[in-house]
Amino acid sequence: MAELSAFWDKLADKYAAQPIADEDAYRTKLARTQAHLTPEMDIFEFGCGTGGTAIAHAPHVRSVRAIDFSKRMLDLARQRAIEAGVDNVTFEQGDITRIAVEPGRYDMVLGLSILHLLKDRKAAIARVYDMLKPGGRFVSSTACLGDSMRWFGAIAPLGRALGLLPVLNIMTPEQLRMDMTSTGFVIEHDWRPAPKAALFLIARKPD
């Protein structure tokens, strides 16, 4: 994790200063997620970055536990939470496949703009399934480059070796949907705001 932390630490301040690429789509995703939130819920987010989404959802739930690889990203997230007056979010450094979480602990797990940056997305999806209560939901938004930029998979390892690119997991939307359903999830909401945009899924663990 130290290598991943170092890569993203370098980008954290620039990342925090960038505007959201598609504000309307982001707001739609927030609204569709919040339609499932209730005040007694405990939710978990991995790949939380600088904390914007965790902070946005915090007023609608009991607690948010958010993790990221990057220490610098988390420092910025904590400062944003203080500035927003949000006190029911905790930020910590961690890896979704290794962090200690008891089975069936959470009502919802968020994995936004992260599954395509993991070496083993299937392991992450399986871990999320285990973390959720029966009836709990996994909300994800994932860049699926396999249907539009398949060639990128050939150059990504070189960019990674040179320290210019993060881990990139090239997949198609169909592959991601299959990963979800083969794990046991039922996909309730499936949305792509544009043909090459990130795939937004809300998947439920059966009761």
Q: What value does the mean pLDDT of the chain take?
A: 89
Q: With cut-offs at 50, 70 and 90, classify the pLDDT of residue 168.
A: confident
Residue 113 makes CB contacts below 8 A (sequence gap 6+) with 47, 49, 141, 142, 143, 198
Q: What pLDDT, in 10s, does the model give residues 81-129?
A: 999 999 999 999 999 999 999 999 999 999 999 999 998 999 999 999 9
Indicate which CATH number applies to the domain containing 74.
3.40.50.150
Report angle CA 14, 23, 31 to the nearest 5 degrees.
Answer: 120
Mean pLDDT of 18-42: 95
Share of the chain above pLDDT 90, in %: 76
Torsion of CA 32, 35, 41, 47, to 10 degrees: 10
Global confidence as pTM: 0.89
Taking Cα atoms as reference points, which of 139, 141, 132, 111 lies closest to residue 206? 132
Predicted local confidence at residue 146, as pLDDT: 78
* More reliable by pLDDT, 160 or 139: 139
Predicted local confidence at residue 159, as pLDDT: 40
Mean pLDDT of 7-22: 78
Domain span at 168: 2-204
For residue 149, is pLDDT > 80?
no
Share of the chain above pLDDT 70, in %: 87
How many domains does the chain fold into?
1
For residue 154, is pLDDT > 50?
no
